[in-house]
Amino acid sequence: MTCGPAVEYGREVELPALPPQGSTDRARRWRRIRRAFVLPITALALSGCTVPSFGASSGVTTSSRSVFHLWQGFSIAAIIVGGFTLLLIVWAVLRYGRKSDEIPKQSQYHLPLEWLYTVVPILIVFGLFAATLIVENKETANPKTNVTVDVLAFQWGWKFTYPGSNALVYGQTTQEPEMVIPVNTDIHINLRSSDVIHGFYVHAFDFSRYALPGVLNQFTIRAVNTGTFFGQCTQLCGLYHSLMWFRVRVVTPDQYQAWLASYDNPTAASAAKAAGVATKQQISSIVPSKPTSSKGDN
């Protein structure tokens, strides 16, 4: 399509030729297609999502790895369903986009297709629910074990005692107490609080539980890797909440037994008893001792 001459201030000028109507429609259509693909890809890139972890950590316990695999399954299912939905939208836009003012042929009651898009989403929901139920049951299970640790949270520190032995670890704020457990062993934890609500959280375990006053919280953890892992209180509990740290050291069974035996000598037993007295004084004191410095590791 071309335009004829036009008059500008008494003189004729030649206007540029306009592109054909068909090419303009095709250009608009391709712009829409590019937006349909570029926008989700850009959003995915900006989210920082990584494959195959999808932004999560597998952790170092059996329960954390079960939760991680569940997260992977949910992410993959979401990508498949979202990608299929996006393809349907793009196909509908290209196939049934408006080409004229004429109303296209209408159709309805495609029963096989209607059964398909009704039943498949229901099956997906049931599958995700069943997988979640299995993982949650593992998370809350408390199998029998010979290793028990009593954990007491208080403002602003932690006390770890081991029933059946003299081992006792106590520390507040800058002291960073350390809970020692054997690797590849079910550890039964009895968690309490002596004052306000605290949160027992270990980042490498992908695990958190409330420490509630007057309530016994019980759970089982099983670490599969040795090492020292950072833990902290996750509930705002007062002035030095941000310094309420602890460590979990996972060792071999032989190292664990040797560590327990180290508390059997009179010196260690006396130190453990003194730590217990200090814990009671700390808990009952109105104004706890103020820390001077603190540092934690991940």
**Of 92-96, 249-253, 264-268, where does the model show the most confidence?**
249-253
Average pLDDT rounded to a whole number, residues 11-20: 58
**Of 15-24, 51-60, 150-159, where does the model show the most confidence?**
150-159
Question: Are both 164 and 120 inside the same structural domain?
Answer: no
Question: Are both 21 and 131 inside the same structural domain?
Answer: yes
Distance CA 179, CA 185 (A): 14
Question: Are both 176 and 279 inside the same structural domain?
Answer: yes
Question: Are both 228 and 260 inside the same structural domain?
Answer: yes
pLDDT in tens, 41-91: 776 666 656 666 666 666 778 887 888 888 888 888 888 888 888 888 888
Q: Does 296 reside within a domain?
A: no
Question: Are both 160 and 182 inside the same structural domain?
Answer: yes
With a cut of 50, say whether residue 24 has pLDDT above it.
yes
3-state helix, strand, coil in the chain (%, to 5): 45, 25, 35
Average pLDDT rounded to a whole number, residues 25-44: 71
Residue type, 183: V
Query: In sequence order, what are the residues at sequence separation of 6 or more whose Cβ sits closer than 8 angstroms to the Cβ of residue 47?
Result: 55
With a cut of 60, say whether residue 19 has pLDDT above it.
no
Q: Does 63 reside within a domain?
A: yes
* b/e code 179-199 from CB counts within 10 Å (16+ = b): bbbbbeebbbbebbbbebebb
Average pLDDT rounded to a whole number, residues 99-128: 84
Question: Are both 169 and 83 inside the same structural domain?
Answer: no
Average pLDDT rounded to a whole number, residues 117-123: 89
Average pLDDT rounded to a whole number, residues 142-156: 86
Average pLDDT rounded to a whole number, residues 146-170: 87
Question: Are both 93 and 172 inside the same structural domain?
Answer: no
Question: Are both 188 and 115 inside the same structural domain?
Answer: no
**Residue 205: pLDDT band with limits 50, 70, 90:** confident
Question: Are both 117 and 168 inside the same structural domain?
Answer: no
pLDDT in tens, 136-146: 887 777 778 88
Q: What are the structure tokens assigned to 268, written together?
A: 């260690």
- Total of domains in the chain: 2
Tell how far CA 255 is from the center of its chain: 31
Question: Are both 121 and 171 inside the same structural domain?
Answer: no
**Which domain, by its residues, includes 230?**
147-284
Question: Are both 227 and 275 inside the same structural domain?
Answer: yes
* DSSP code at position 186: -
Which pLDDT belongs to residue 289? Answer: 46
**Residue 200: pLDDT band with limits 50, 70, 90:** very high
With a cut of 90, say whether residue 176 has pLDDT above it.
no
- The CATH number given to whatever domain includes residue 226 is 2.60.40.420
